[in-house]
Structure 1
Amino acid sequence: MKKKVLLIEDDNFVRENTAEILELANYNVEIAKNGKEGISKAKSFLPNIIICDILMPNLDGYGVLQIVSKTSGLEQIPFIFLTAKTHQNDLRKGMELGADDYICKPFEESELLRAIEVRLKRVEAFESKNKIPKFNNSSRFLDLKKIKNIDQYLGKKRVYHFKKDETIYCEGNQSNHIFLIKKGTVKTYKINEDGKEFNTGYYTNKQYFGYSSFVKKTPHFENSKAITETQLYKISKDEITSILNNNHHIIFDFIDLLSSNTIANNSQLMLLAYGSVRKKTAITLLNLLENYPEVKNNEIFITRLNLANSIGIAKETLTRTLYSFKEENLIDLSTKSLKVLNKEMLFKIS
């Protein structure tokens, strides 16, 4: 049976072309020209997923998401924003309201279809009883049935300790756990054929990592390393499945927790792919202000090498760019950190 997609978009050209793409991909598509019409059609069409523009007259995409998330029968439908807005504040606002993903215009057909497929598969994975194993009545699983929150269970689990610069997992390792940091800081990174490192994320206390490969049931596609003394929990597939199967009320909170970083990271990577060195550096600094663990009063405590690897440029190129920013009074530099002085001007760099 075809999956149903509701597309809410006020631009005629974008709406018609996007609908055609979805229909060719064998989706049952219903379109709406504005937010109010979209809400009405969502109630009658009951789509499997909603794709919605942000900037629309009368009722914008944020308003649509707020109404959908509070409407019985619609609140659990995956919601993807289709938008030309890429400012960090816009992404954060959508995340706080409960958006599952962003697709920025202009977009590739494969990007749109992949985003939809990932969200639909995630819903199926949690809803399909055939995919949830049946456990025996051993004391271990009887205990799991009593769990009302993850913190309660973690109190009984082993804590793993990693020294600074110690590897946690490598690309290609089998993904059998989700990792939760109790204390410390971890980075994830990839290494290309020339041995150059590109940092893909930073995580700290009470944050999860390693979940993308876990959800897709594939080996890890990146490496991870502790950049400070770190303590973490390893949560196995059986444990996650048991907790979610027996505590349905926490399923969507957990999905939201795991996916929040993915939205921001995908948007950042797309911007970095097309920006100049100055733009890449500026965007990375702004994102680090929001997401990097070691930030205090707009001062980012990060090594030059880690910063260069986060941007995907040579350390020497980074040094020249940072000094030009300093001369423009955008940042201040010290040996172990840098301080952002003018966020607005950094954002305007092209």
Structure 2
Amino acid sequence: MNKNKILLVDDELNLRETISELLNYENYDVKTACNGQEALDLLEYWSPDLIICDIMMPVMDGNTFHEIIKEIHSLNSIPFIFLTAKKENNLMRKCLLDGADDFIYKPFKIKELTSIIESKIERFEKIKNNHTNLYLGKKKYFLHEINTPLNGILGSIKLLMKDEGSLDRKEVLAFYESIKMSGERLNRTMQNIILYQNLKNNSIKFNDNSSSEILNTFLNTKEKIFKIYEGQEKRISFDIDKAIIKFSQEHLEFIFFELIDNALKFSSADKKIIVSGTKYDDKYYEININDSGIGLSEEELNKIGASQQFNREEREQQGLGLGLFLSKNIIRESKGVFSIISKENEGTAIKIFLPLYKTTNLD
């Protein structure tokens, strides 16, 4: 049976360790952070069933952390309990009005804490069982991404059946190709949604013994990409050294596909995408993906998240905006490093460091 997950945020080390130990004994899976910023870093790749947070902390206090959580659609339904020794008139009332689920003064009895935890997690489980955690936006982009390829499939089949006797082989093959492309788009959408849910539910196991050869993985992915971008092979320039990295081939192909697809999608046909890869040191392999496309503003970069898209109508985007978000989180979950620098109308530079599996030269 899976344990319920709790994030405990408190700058007092002794209290943090004591509460964590007690909750572990009560069969909870507990992760800790010493301030709001450290907690946000944890939430990039780990989703708890409940958050317990102190108010007064250095770097980022509990109130600021809570305000940020409320703005993140994939996290704002998680029960949030304030824990504080601060005695102030109307403090509890203010926190509850601001959206906290409960409030506990220090010192407290562990029975009081576990009783509140049980009731809040029970409520959260009901929410999870009835609603997806994926925020799909007010403009129904999710329905668009399902209906568009589905209509392409059904419409093509209907025309094939209706005009079967009057179509020549070339026209029939064109319909088949249309059905195939629509099916692949629909499949990609659904697979990304499943991957997102698995990541948020912490049900993906990242095996430390996974490995893949990076050049062959890139070449395989490039072939898949140009089945979509037919005749545009010259748009990618690459220089990738062979190496075995501590990363599953499935996840590496996903990341290459999503990031290169984004670069091609948001760059004009006369602009090249440059992909390079080389050993950074004895521990890490460095990958760079650079484009000269439309880029993102600093504000947009700070808002990257699941289903987050920017100026969709102007940029004619397809997809749910999950690719970049999922790639970033898979890399971090696999003990890699992801960074992105982008400027509007100038382009985007993505830098990734992935752990090397072994340093043997394969040339």
**TM surpasses 0.5:** no
Structure with bigger gyration radius = 2
TM-score of the aligned structures, taking structure 1 as reference length: 0.36
Q: What TM-score do you get using the length of structure 2 for normalisation?
A: 0.34
